[in-house]
Amino acid sequence: MKIIGIDAATIIPGKGGAGGGIWIYTKNILIALDQLLEYEQEISIKVFANKTFDLEFKHIDIVRIDADTEKLLNRLKYVHIMLPRLCKKLHVDVLHKLATEVPFFYKGSMVVTIHDLIINFYLKKKYYGKNLFQLLKLNYFSYIEKIAVKKSDAVFTNSESLKDELIKLYGNKNVLVTGLGNPVNADALITRPKKKPICFYCIAGYYPHKGHARVIKLVECLVSKYGLDIMLYFRGNPSHDHFFNTIMEQIRQSPCRERIVIENYVQQHALTEIYANASVMILLSEYEGFGLPIIEAQALGVPVICSDISVFREVSGGYACFVGLDNMEKAASVVDDFLQNEEAQQFNITNGFTNTKRFQWGKIGQQLLQAYKSL
């Protein structure tokens, strides 16, 4: 029997949205694999887990590691020293890293999931500012990413757009697009509020590429130029302190500051509760590897307004209101037309809901099992 070691010890649930995209991927992939193992005779899976890991399985073995991986030095020691030794001790045949921080000295068979190429994007855009530590950190992860692609027998990605990026950046590689699963477990369309104000929900961590500043400017334009009654709700992980503080200052100076609400993360909140009062979901990212809030909103029957980037076109199936990022006045005109057109909104709701049916965690789990067996 082939033993697969899945490293979840460095995956920390994010305190924003529904818990962070990589954590959502980790949780649902493991649940899907555990269900599939009931009928699987060739594969055994061991998950390396930290103290924050609270999942339980019937067929997957959990291996607890004694390291606080939320602390940088502890994580580096775990990834590059402890993890290779653990794999050797447990006779792991294939190591699956759920993110690109792979061990330098691991010589066994390995696969990696790459969720985006945001490190290269940040270095290109110089989003580290004058923070030398941040620059060093970005360069470390950029280097690790190259090692991950080079050393892995297979690379799993979430979108065709990301696959194209990977091939362009690193050359031909065994890249398998697995996608993400439908974030809503059952048909759970919410009842959108019909009364004013129009509630814009931006579910995104406070990072420079996520577009919070543009969303504020867009709302300001929609209110001042088109007279729309809008409330804007932000919900996300504020771990990027400098950027979070910058957005808070922009809100304080905004003429629409009374219309902007910061919602705090509550671990127990389900997606239906998070989006319960949403008229629309808005996401104006410059870059993404997938864009999970798009299918979260679609699965709940909430129309989507998003930036016109290739991965959003792919993930949404084209059923969204797409706006350019260069001119917020022009974007406001497009959004106003969309908000005034109930037929267009309903078209996107109906087809967007259907679009989410192609995202299935069970299907991804089957793809991973087949990949494990082929190595």
Average pLDDT, integer, range 115-137: 91
Together in a domain, 121 and 144: yes
Residue 309: what residue type? I
Tokens representing 358?
């192609």
Q: In DSSP terms, which residues pair with 156 in a beta bridge? A: 113, 176
Together in a domain, 344 and 364: no
How confident is the model at residue 190, as a pLDDT? 65
Q: In DSSP terms, which residues pair with 44 in a beta bridge? A: 3
**Which residue is listed with tokens 């390396």?**
48
How confident is the model at residue 12, as a pLDDT? 85
Together in a domain, 159 and 108: yes
Together in a domain, 327 and 340: yes
Phi first, then psi, for residue 254 (nearest 5°) are -75, 140
Together in a domain, 349 and 368: no
Q: Report how far apart the first and last C-alpha atoms of the chain are (Å, whole number).
A: 13
* pLDDT beyond 60 at 187: no
SS3 sequence of 208-266: HHHCHHHHHHHHHHHHHHHCCCEEEEEECCCCCHHHHHHHHHHHHHCCCHHHEEEECCC
261-296 confidence digits (pLDDT tens) = 999 888 778 888 899 999 999 999 999 999 999 999
Together in a domain, 214 and 255: yes
Q: Average pLDDT over the chain, rounded to whole?
A: 93
How confident is the model at residue 174, as a pLDDT? 87
Together in a domain, 237 and 352: yes
Distance CA 130, CA 125 (A): 13
Together in a domain, 322 and 344: yes
Tokens representing 351?
């087809």
Which DSSP helix (H) or strand (E) runs through 350? helix 342-355
Share of the chain above pLDDT 70, in %: 97
Average pLDDT, integer, range 295-301: 94
Average pLDDT, integer, range 244-265: 96
17 is a domain residue: yes
* pLDDT beyond 60 at 186: no
Pairing of strands 230-235, 154-157: unpaired
Distance CA 283, CA 336 (A): 16
β strands within the chain, DSSP E: 2-7, 43-49, 61-64, 94-97, 109-114, 154-157, 175-177, 198-203, 230-235, 260-263, 280-283, 304-307, 321-323
How confident is the model at residue 241, as a pLDDT? 85
Contact 321, 207 (CB under 8 A): no
Work out the angle at residue 339's Cα, subtended by the Cα atoms of residues 229 and 185, and round it to the nearest 5 degrees. 105
29 is a domain residue: yes
Together in a domain, 296 and 282: yes
Together in a domain, 220 and 352: yes
Domain limits for position 97: 2-181+360-374
Q: Of the ranges 13-22, 80-89, 127-136, 330-339, which one carries the lowest mean pLDDT score? A: 13-22
How confident is the model at residue 188, as a pLDDT? 62
Distance CA 217, CA 293 (A): 21
Together in a domain, 231 and 297: yes
What is the domain-level CATH number for residue 98?
3.40.50.2000
307-351 confidence digits (pLDDT tens) = 999 999 999 999 999 999 999 999 999 999 999 999 999 999 999
Share of the chain above pLDDT 90, in %: 79
3-state secondary structure at position 100: coil
* Number of domains the chain contains: 2
Average pLDDT, integer, range 72-95: 95
How confident is the model at residue 51, as a pLDDT? 83
Q: Of the ranges 156-170, 190-204, 230-244, 361-375, which one carries the lowest mean pLDDT score? A: 190-204
CA contacts within 13 A on the Cβ side of 86: 24
Average pLDDT, integer, range 198-222: 96
Helix axes 160-170, 132-151, angle to 10 degrees: 90
42 is a domain residue: yes
Together in a domain, 23 and 147: yes
